[in-house]
Amino acid sequence: MQKILYHELKYQQSTQYTTPFYLLNVINLDMKLCIIGANGRMGQAIIESAQQQNINIHSVVVKECTDYVGHKLSKEVKILHKVEDGADIIIDFSNSQASKSNVEYANKYQIPILIGTTEGHKKSDYNKFNIPIMWAPNTSITWNIMENAIEKISLASKLAIQIGEVHHKNKKDDPSGTTKQLDDKINADKVWSLRVGKNMSMHQFMGINDLEIARLEHQVLDRQLYAHDALVICKWLIMQKNQLFIMQDFINEII
């Protein structure tokens, strides 16, 4: 597949590109990727997915006094302890405290960034920056389409609503950023959360009244889904103007 050079598509400040979703899935954009939190589960999943898609990994960022451990990287990849200039796009799956300083570096070097961390910070923390930023508590495109539908159902129907989730026992935030974000939108009557096992990731919505029951469930079988979709989102984000985006901005444009 022929690569499209990033500089051929790089946005002007006054321009925002609209790319059909099917092209985002197949386009081979020659962008240089920086991955923060490279030693973590999601960092490793993104490295694996990027390698499978022949996406150029410019650098990986790990904690200070920590060596990189994981999938083999090419000799050209920089192993860093903080963001440096040279990448075209950053994916951050570190932690909330690190994310705040990472965005400072991204803003300094004018590099778009996708923030996938969810615990201990909020979207409004990033309003002041002058780069394209994607705030993404959940990078699954399917889930975000479902969340859009759930929000509309809750507005259109008089339902008693409960939302819930099951995640692996090592997940730190409880409930997750995904569930908190959904509850902020629909004000559920009941919210439940369970931590069990090593790989679980499930979100559920149920609404009920005397006439009907509505139920939606999304279960992720492999975190490669989050990694693959994060890279698709990056192909979109890299062509946007300076703004703080949420996943619904992306969803509203592609469907």
CATH number reported for the structural domain that contains residue 180 in this entry? 3.30.360.10
CA angle at residue 253 from 181 to 237, to 5 degrees?
Answer: 75
Q: What pLDDT score does 28 carry?
A: 63
Q: What pLDDT score does 22 carry?
A: 53
What does the block give as tokens for 105? 């570096």
Whether 189 shows a pLDDT value over 50: the answer reads yes
- 20 with 76, same domain? yes
Q: What pLDDT score does 215 carry?
A: 97
The residue count for the chain: 255
Q: What percent of the chain has pLDDT over 90?
A: 74
- 164 with 104, same domain? no
CB distance 98 to 106 below 8 Å:
no
Mean pLDDT across 202-229:
96
Q: What pLDDT score does 122 carry?
A: 80
- 114 with 146, same domain? no
Q: What pLDDT score does 12 carry?
A: 42
Into how many domains does the chain fold? Answer: 2
Mean pLDDT across 81-91:
96
- 97 with 44, same domain? yes
End-to-end CA separation in angstroms for the chain: 25
Residue ranges with strand state E in the chain:
4-5, 29-30, 32-36, 56-61, 78-80, 89-92, 113-115, 133-135, 160-167, 190-195, 201-208, 213-219, 244-246
Whether 195 shows a pLDDT value over 90: the answer reads yes
Q: What pLDDT score does 20 carry?
A: 57
Q: Determine how β-strand 133-135 pairs with β-strand 89-92.
A: unpaired
What does the block give as tokens for 171? 């997940």
pTM assigned to the model: 0.88
- 239 with 113, same domain? yes
Q: What pLDDT score does 171 carry?
A: 84
CATH number reported for the structural domain that contains residue 22 in this entry? 3.40.50.720
Identity (one letter) of the amino acid at 159? L
- 51 with 39, same domain? yes
Summarize pLDDT for 152-167 with one digit per residue, the tens. 999 998 999 999 999 9
Range of the domain at 148: 141-219
Please tell me the distance from the alpha carbon of residue 86 to that of residue 68, in angstroms, as a whole number: 20
Whether 252 shows a pLDDT value over 80: the answer reads yes
- 51 with 115, same domain? yes
- 40 with 157, same domain? no
- 108 with 146, same domain? no
Summarize pLDDT for 5-37 with one digit per residue, the tens. 444 444 444 445 455 565 566 566 689 999 999
Summarize pLDDT for 231-251 with one digit per residue, the tens. 999 999 999 999 999 999 999
Pairwise pLDDT comparison (25 vs 79), residue with the higher score: 79
Pairwise pLDDT comparison (23 vs 48), residue with the higher score: 48
Please tell me the distance from the alpha carbon of residue 171 to that of residue 122, in angstroms, as a whole number: 18
Summarize pLDDT for 87-137 with one digit per residue, the tens. 999 999 998 888 989 999 999 999 999 999 877 778 888 999 999 999 999
- 106 with 133, same domain? yes
Among candidate residues 49, 109, 55, the one with its CA nearest the CA of residue 77: 55
Whether 76 shows a pLDDT value over 60: the answer reads yes
Q: What pLDDT score does 2 carry?
A: 45
Q: How much is the mean pLDDT over the chain?
A: 89
pLDDT band at 52 (very low <50, low <70, confident <90, very high): very high
Cβ-Cβ contacts under 8 Å for 207 (sequence gap 6 or more):
153, 154, 157, 159, 160, 161, 213, 214, 215
- 236 with 208, same domain? no
Radius of gyration of the chain (CA): 18
- 229 with 134, same domain? yes
CA angle at residue 186 from 146 to 20, to 5 degrees?
Answer: 35
